Amino acid sequence: MIEYRNLRVALLGAGSVGAQVASLLLEHGDELANRAGAGLELVGVAVRDLDAPRTANIPRELLTTDAESLILGADIVIELMGGLEPARTYILQALTSGADVITGNKALLATHGPELFELAEQVGAQLYYEAAVAGAIPIIRPLRDSLAGDRIKRILGIVNGTTNFILDRMDTAGESLEVALATATELGYAEKSDPSADIEGFDAAQKTAILASLAFHTTVPLDAVYREGITAITIEQVDAARKAGYVIKLLAICERMTDADGVEGVSARVYPALVPRSHPLAAVHGAKNAVFIEAEAAGDLMFYGAGAGGIETASAVLGDLVSAARRHVIGGPGVAESTHANLPILPISRVITRYQITLSVVDQPGVLAAVATLFSEHGVSVETVTQSVQAGADPARPSATLVIGTHEASEADLAATVAALETSQVVRAVTSVLRVEGS
């Protein structure tokens, strides 16, 4: 039996996610209230256009274009409008008025997170954001609560469904990036007007900033996240990766590492990388997301599921709603974001990882030795070399393909090696440079 007063819930946005949140809240309100220990009354839904078609039935009298009035009377505000403004202003208003806030807005958190968390702490409110990373997958609460007693060493995440879908189609169906992107757009995964947020890695970078900040108790600003998208990935690279026992995935990598000078810090980066087929992330197909965590005590953990979708993401939002309601019932201030470690953030040049470099070389005696010398001169240790005769090569100018796998090396040393290879007499072209992760 619920004794606590009804909590007033204001919803900002009734698009893909917001409409599903409204619908589930109206449909399952009693059940959620029992779990929360308080009634949950949806007092209004702010939208831009009252007459726009909705994907769920929301009573017309709940819709309003006056978000500010709605916020003022609410105990809990759910922001699902997206974008930086007016979402930022509305969340600041909600926190200032004493409401707890729930958001799925990764762009806003990655850009203005510190300002929002600071205000929440000042006023004793709580900002929840389970939906902001990997949609339906519970990852924020596990990092923040369940793993609070452990030390995270590394996170490897597939956190963008569009790019995983595209790379998977290239790998399993032999499609070009352009064809796979067109299918992703048709299926509604990629943004129709501008897919660059997905394919250039911006969306993944926002999620990486959020994950790295949480995992390492350190504020990691968005502009400290190194980012490369998938637009330069070719079907030849995907095929070569498969033959070598790898699959190419766009990875969000958050790592606590010690650089070559002994500086301990945090690296946050997004790029397409070779992942061994035996790694659990290699089995993440289609538009699915997964987050693989390596923790000191817990060992390896993997969280897998839908990274997007209206109803799937609504599940994460409603989980936050129940938590927020419970906090109201129990009372006391919200729990502040932990940034106590404040570790330095290492630039990409300090990162240490493994690489696979593919070269087209002159096929004649001494070439392998010359190439190996260039690696050793720049302090990069070669682990594997495979050579094949280049198909269709001119018999008068024989060429070979060399695929060189390295031991761990710094980005700076690797970049210097690649620059030397590019100007070497024996190298016709550096055709591919990919990092190897997850082994």
**Which residues of the shown chain bind ligand HSE in the complex (CB under 6 A)?**
135, 160-162, 189, 198, 203, 307-308
Note if the bond before 86 is cis, omega within 30 degrees: yes
* Residue 51 makes contact with ligand NDP by CB under 6 A: no
Residue 405 marked ligand-binding: no
Q: What is d(CA 160, CA 125) in angstroms, rounded to the nearest whole number?
A: 30
Nearer Cβ to ligand HSE (167/404):
167
As measured in angstroms, the least distance from the Cβ of 200 to ligand HSE is 12
Q: What is d(CA 82, CA 103) in angstroms, rounded to the nearest whole number?
A: 9
Q: Say if residues 331 and 161 touch (Cβ distance below 8 Å).
A: no
CA atoms within 13 A on the CB side of 413: 22
As measured in angstroms, the least distance from the Cβ of 307 to ligand HSE is 5
Nearer Cβ to ligand NDP (139/281):
139
Residue 184 marked ligand-binding: no
As measured in angstroms, the least distance from the Cβ of 202 to ligand NDP is 12
Region for residue 360 given its phi and psi (left: phi exceeds 0; alpha: psi -120 to 50; beta: otherwise): beta
As measured in angstroms, the least distance from the Cβ of 271 to ligand NDP is 22
Instruction: Count the residues of the shown chain that bind ligand NDP, applying the rule CB under 6 A.
Output: 24
Task: Name 52's Cβ contacts closer than 8 Å, sequence gap at least 6.
Answer: none
Q: What is d(CA 314, CA 59) in angstroms, rounded to the nearest whole number?
A: 18
Nearer Cβ to ligand HSE (135/142):
135
* Residue 16 makes contact with ligand NDP by CB under 6 A: yes
As measured in angstroms, the least distance from the Cβ of 247 to ligand HSE is 18
What does the DSSP 8-state code read for residue 386?
E
**Residue 213 interacts with, from ligand HSE, ligand NDP, none (CB under 5-8 Å by kind):** none
| DSSP per-residue letters across 132-172 | GTTTTS--HHIIIIITTTS-EEEEEEE--HHHHHHHHHHHH
Cα separation values, 194 from 103, 179, 197, 202, 297, Å: 23, 16, 7, 12, 42
Amino acid (1-letter code) at residue 182: A
Selected range binding ligand NDP among 12-20, 366-374, 389-397, 398-406, rule: CB under 6 A: 12-20
Restricted to residues 52-81, the positions that interact with ligand NDP (CB under 6 A) are 52, 67, 80-81
Bridge partners for 290 per DSSP: 158, 304
Residues designated catalytic:
207
For ligand NDP, the binding residues (CB under 6 A) are: 13-18, 46-49, 52, 67, 80-82, 86, 104-106, 131, 135, 308-309, 313
Question: Which residues belong to the annotated binding site?
Answer: 12-19, 106, 191
